[in-house]
Structures are given as structure tokens and as C-alpha cells.
């Protein structure tokens, strides 16, 4: 079990020194042990926890909820059901996020195709494509402003 300087941790995790200190301040990281000079010495369990933090942040969990999770983790094995519940709920949110993102990506791609058609039509006014993407309210629509 190695020990790491703040600089190394920043390097490895991608969090800035300031962010690491900030995370400790707000209790997202438990108080980090110090060497004689008062400098932080991180260990593998911190690295691993920071990996989790990165993952949760990256999927949109708020700092507040991560702190809640951190408290459960510190609360010991009795909190495992609660941790599962929290992660499952988050997992469902991520699922939803992905679904929405895909839908919206689809709309963007339809829009791109529409623009392509407009361009093609301008170059070759023979064919008769380029009607508005067509769809429900969710059309995301014509610019209706190419005056």
C-alpha cells in the first residue's frame, strides 16, 4: 500500500490540487493523514475513492449527494443496503440521461441531414426532397428564418 503526494494524486486522478483540498474541506474526502510537515499523504484507498467520485460526478451526481454517499461509506457495513439504493437510483437516472441524449442526438442528426438536403437541392434543383424533417412536435424544426 503506497503513499502519494498531492501532486501525484492530482496527476493520476485528474483532479486539481485545489479541488482535492476542496473535496476534503467539504467532507467528500475524509481528513487526509499528514506527514511531519503537515503535507497530505494519500494512499490507495483515497485513489480508489477518487475514482468512484470521478465516476459519480461524470454521470451527473451532485456534490451534495456524493457527500451523502461518502457518509454512508464511512458509516460501515450497516449502510450497504442504503448505498445500493442510492447507487441504483442514480443508475436509473443515468439510464434516463443516456436515453434522452440518444433521442436528442437523433434530432441533431436529422437536422444535419435536412441541411444536407437543402444543400443538395440548391446544387441540383431537379430532385424534390428536403421537406422539413417531419415528425411530432419534437421536430426541432425548420429554422424558419432563412429570410
Which parts of this chain interact with a second copy (CB under 8 A)?
A: 30, 44-45, 47-49, 51-52, 55-56, 58-59, 73-74, 76-77, 80-81, 83-84, 87-88, 90-91, 94-95, 97-98, 100-102, 104-105, 107-109, 111-112, 115-116, 118-119, 122, 137-147
Region from 14-22, 80-88, 94-102, 133-141 binding DNA, contact rule CB under 7 A? 14-22
State which residue, 57 or 83, has the beta carbon closest to DNA: 57
Per DSSP, the three-state class of 94 is helix
Q: What is the DSSP string of 37-82?
A: TS-B-EEHHHHHHHHHHHHHHHTT--HHHHHHHHHHHHT-GGGHHH
In the complex, the smallest distance separating the C-beta of residue 133 from a second copy, rounded to whole angstroms, is: 10
**Cα–Cα distance measured from residue 145 to residue 77, given in angstroms and rounded to the nearest whole number:** 60
Amino acid at each position: 500500500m503506497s503513499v502519494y503526494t498531492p501532486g501525484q494524486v492530482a496527476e493520476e486522478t485528474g483532479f486539481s490540487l485545489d479541488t482535492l483540498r476542496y473535496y476534503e474541506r467539504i467532507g467528500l474526502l475524509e481528513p487526509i493523514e499528514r506527514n511531519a510537515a503537515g503535507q497530505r499523504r494519500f494512499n490507495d484507498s483515497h485513489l480508489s475513492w477518487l475514482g468512484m467520485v470521478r465516476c459519480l460526478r461524470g454521470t451527473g451526481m451532485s456534490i451534495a449527494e456524493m457527500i451523502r454517499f461518502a457518509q454512508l461509506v464511512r458509516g460501515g457495513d450497516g449502510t450497504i443496503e442504503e448505498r445500493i439504493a442510492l447507487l441504483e437510483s442514480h443508475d436509473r437516472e443515468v439510464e434516463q440521461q443516456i436515453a434522452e441524449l440518444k433521442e436528442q442526438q437523433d434530432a441533431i442528426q436529422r437536422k444535419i441531414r435536412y441541411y444536407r438536403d437543402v444543400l443538395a437541392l440548391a446544387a441540383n434543383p431537379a430532385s424534390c426532397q428536403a421537406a422539413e424533417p417531419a415528425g411530432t412536435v419534437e421536430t426541432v424544426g425548420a429554422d424558419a428564418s432563412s429570410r
